[in-house]
Each structure stands twice: as C-alpha cells, then as structure tokens.
Amino acid sequence: MNISFASPSVPSSGALVVGVLEGGKLTPSATSLDKATDGALERAIAASSFSGKKGELLDIVAPAKLSNSRILLVGLGAPAKLSEKDLQDLGGSAAAQLLRCGEQKAAFLVDKLRGGKPAAERAANYAYGALLRSYRFDKYKTKEKPEKKPKLKEIKVLLEESAAAKRLYQKLEKIAEGVFTTRDLVSEPANIIYPKSLVAEAKKLSKLGRKEMEKLGMGALLGVAQGSAHEAQLLVMVWEGAPNAKDKAPVAFVGKGVTFDTGGISLKPAAGMEDMKWDMGGAGTVVGVMHALAARKAKVNAVGICGLVENMPSGTAQRPGDIVTSMSGQTIEVLNTDAEGRLVLADALWYTQEKFKPKLIVDLATLTGAIIISLGNEHAGLFSNDDKLSKQLTEAGEAVGEPIWRMPMGPEYDKLIDCDAADMKNISGGRAGGSITAAQFLQRFIKNGTPWAHLDIAGVAWSTKEKPTAAKGGTGFGVRLLEKFVADNYEK
C-alpha cells in the first residue's frame, strides 16, 4: 500500500476519512464536509447511535453534492486521552473498513485539535496503523476471485504539518517492515520454511551448521533435530549501531525456531497439528526486530540468535528417556520429546553468553500450552530474574499494545525438574505450573549476574480473529515491543 503525506486539499474522488470528537462534535475538516453536503454528516450522526466515542465508525456512502464514494467518520473520543496505540488502532480500523468496502484510494483529513498529541504525530500514527492492517498473506491463493482481493492501494494523509508527519512516519514504516518480516515467516508452511531456508531469509548474518554445533557441544539442540531430514541451524545476527559506545556489550535476543513440531516420538494429536508451522514464532520475532533495528539504524549494539530445528519422529529421532549433554555441560534426561523448545533454547542461551557476553538477554518462544491456560490469548507470559528488566519490558508492551504479564518463579518450582538420572529432566512430570517449570529449566542456562527475561508467546504469536492493526494469522507479536524497549532504554 502506498501511503503519502500532503498539504490539505480535499480530493474529488475516493473515500474521505475524518474525525469526530466525543459527543458528536465535528472536527474542522468534518465541519467543512458537513457544509459541503448540506448537513449530511450531522443528519447521519443524529440518525445513528454514533457519538464520537473512541473507535466508533460511521459510513456515509455517496454523500450528497460530492463526487467522493464515501465519507467515513471515525470517533476520536477525547483527544487528550489518545495514546500512540489508540491512534494506530484508529488508523487500522479505518483501513479495515475501507478494505471491506472495496475502496481503491482514500484520504485521511487530520486537523489541529486542542489537547493531546500534535497533528503530525497523530497523522504518522494513523498511517502506521493503516499500514500494519494492510498486511495480507496471500501468496498461495492462485484462484482467488478478483472481487475478494483487496483493492485499497493508496492512502493520502492530509494536514498542514505534512513534512513533519512524513519524517515521523518514516521511522514507523521501518518498524512495520520488521513486523511484516515476522508475519511472513510465521505464516509460511513448514515445507517452505525449515531451518536452512529460514537462515536464507535473514540478511547480513552468520550461521552455524550441525558440525560446528557438534564441536561446541550443543547436544540439547541437536538432539531435537536428529529425527529430521533437515539439518539444524544456529542463526546469528549482529547489529553494531553504537560502535563507539563505552560499554559495547550488546542487548541480546534469543528465539526458539522449531519450524515444525510434530512432538517427535511423543507425537502430538493429529487435530490442529497443522498449526505447528508457527512454532518458530520466537525466532520469527527475533529476525523481525533485528530487521527493524537495522532498517531504522538504531544506535544500539544488538545480537539476535535463533536455534532452528524441525522436530520429527523417525528411526533416528530422540527417544523419551534419552540423556543429552548441553553446551553448558549440564545433562538433561528427555522424558517428553514434545518439550523440545527448552532444549533448543538451552544451548542457544549458553552460546549467546559465551560468544557475546551481553548486558542482558530476552528470549522469546512459543514454549508452552500452559501459558494459554494461564493468560489466554491476550497476554504473553513474562519470567525474569531481574525486576528492572521486567519493568522496562512491561512498560514497552503497554505502550505498543503488546501486553505481557509477569509470572512467578522460585526454588520450589525449580525442584520439580530435579532428576535422579541426570542434572535435570525436561518436564516436571505433572500438569501443575507447566509454563513456570519450563522457565525454571531455561534459568538453569543463565549465568549468574546476567539479567534475563523469557517471554512465552504461545498464546499471542497467532490469532484466529482480526485485530485493529492485524488480520487473522501471524501477529508479529514482540517486534514492536522489543523495538520500543530498545528505543526507550538502550539507545545511545
């Protein structure tokens, strides 16, 4: 979709999108359109339940005395209460309505308003929300009827401070590139995205293959991959945006990248197994956030590490009861081969610390179904050994609309993965606290003194319903959160 910014000049064709304040009060642009249509806007509001509350939409089709196809009224509520996320949601909701109606082009009319954010900032966020909502994964639809294809190709955002709005939008557009990268990767089927092909999708990186990982002693990660015809890969991405910083230690992001998860010998039920193509959602997010940081030339040193495997049953597959030795030297009894993500992350986390000595680590993984039982599909689970890091991540998530909720950890939970045959087992053996014991397992591979946070995104990486800035499917959850986290706390 082409999004541009220009000075106010109402076009004579296409759709017009204007704001209405709380209580049905028209903005200056809406007032002008109301006069031009002999009061059509006021009459439409009076004849409906639309009152200008935040997020309300009212569609006026074929407005009188105008050649425009429609006027879409968007409820702004009270401008002083509109956050950046609210503005993005408004832009996304307007774009979704235009897409549903089959519009080809539209103009967003943005006015100066008392209270709240400047017009340029509001305009940039409207456009950002519209861009995010425009994403569609349709590359395999070869027989889709023309009338079902999206027709919206152009949005012009019209305001007096158009140059300032464009500058603000350019940064947001780069973040959207990262979000779309993640959505693409998560949406691809497993016959297209597997460990080696996912590496090929990432740019300016290095990778480790099976032989290199064997030399490093990554028995936990390699054990998961040994049943697949696709070789495991460790993807290493480096962004040096602050080469002259006194403290050159990077922030590190680590992602679970199980490109398809059958459960291995501990085979999953057939129903719903097709969804396991997005079990690489954590790795997809790490690739996306590294893309976003590089695209906007973030002044930070960052590394992204992804453990990439396919978990398959075969004659060479890992068996329940096998004992593997991780890169850290700790041994693990594998009681359930479907608890494989933590094995992948164990070696990836240790490698990250040994190789890069980061100032902090955030790992992301579609790790447990238990987190969905705890938090549903509304929040990701946060587990951490550091209060400051937890607070920074939580605040970033709230700001961009990707909420996370901190879960407990502690010695009593940790004891549940103690093992008679090895240093630890990969499941507790019971159903209670499954997401917590998984986090306790990961913490055993974090060196003392390293601030660490684990985000269990199993409930939020994929959505079965539309959201203001995302269609059904891969959400790209975590890219905007981590970009905001870096921008607010670690850029020099």
Q: Is the pLDDT of residue 112 over 60?
A: yes
Average pLDDT of the residues of the chain: 96
Residue 142 pLDDT more than 80? yes
The single residue of 117, 166, 183, 342 carrying the catalytic annotation is 342
pLDDT value of position 203: 67
Per-residue pLDDT at 148:
82
- Distance, in Å, from the CA atom of 251 to the CA atom of 6, rounded to the nearest integer, reads 38
252, 356 contact by CB (below 8 A): yes
Q: How many CA atoms lie within 13 A of 317 on its CB side?
A: 22
- Please give the average per-residue pLDDT across 29-57, as a whole number: 97
Q: Are 107 and 155 in contact (CB under 8 A)?
A: yes
Span 74-107, pLDDT tens digits: 999 999 999 999 999 999 999 999 999 999 999 9
Q: Could you tell me if residue 213 is left (phi over 0), alpha (psi between -120 and 50 degrees) or otherwise beta? A: alpha
Homologous superfamily (CATH) of 177-489 is: Zn peptidases (3.40.630.10)
Rounded to two decimals, the pTM is 0.94
pLDDT in tens, 245-294: 999 999 999 999 999 999 999 999 999 999 999 999 999 999 999 999 99
What number is the average pLDDT over the span 150-177?
Answer: 97
Report, as an integer, the average pLDDT of 137-153: 89
**Averaged over 25-36, what is the pLDDT?**
97
pLDDT at 204 over 60: no
225: tokens are: 């991959």
The DSSP element (H or E) to which 102 belongs, if any, is: none
* Fold observed for domain 2-159: Leucine Aminopeptidase, subunit E; domain 1 (3.40.220)
Amino acid identity, residue 66? L
Q: How far apart are CA 366 and CA 278, in angstroms?
A: 8
Annotated active-site residue 167? The verdict is no
**The residue count for the chain:** 492
In the chain, where the domains are located:
2-159, 177-489
480 is catalytic: no
The pLDDT score that the predictor gives to residue 205 is 65
At 286 the three-state DSSP class reads: helix
State the catalytic residue, choosing from 43, 268, 406, 467.
Answer: 268
Average pLDDT over residues 212-233: 97
Residue 143, pLDDT score = 87
Q: What is the DSSP string of 314-329?
A: STTS--TTEEEE-TTS
d(CA 407, CA 20): 41
What are the structure tokens assigned to 134, written together? 């425009």
Q: How confident is the model at residue 219 (pLDDT cuts 50, 70, 90)?
A: very high
Predicted local confidence at residue 144, as pLDDT: 85
Residue 202 confidence (pLDDT): 83
Residue 461 has pLDDT above 80, yes or no: yes
DSSP state of 470: B
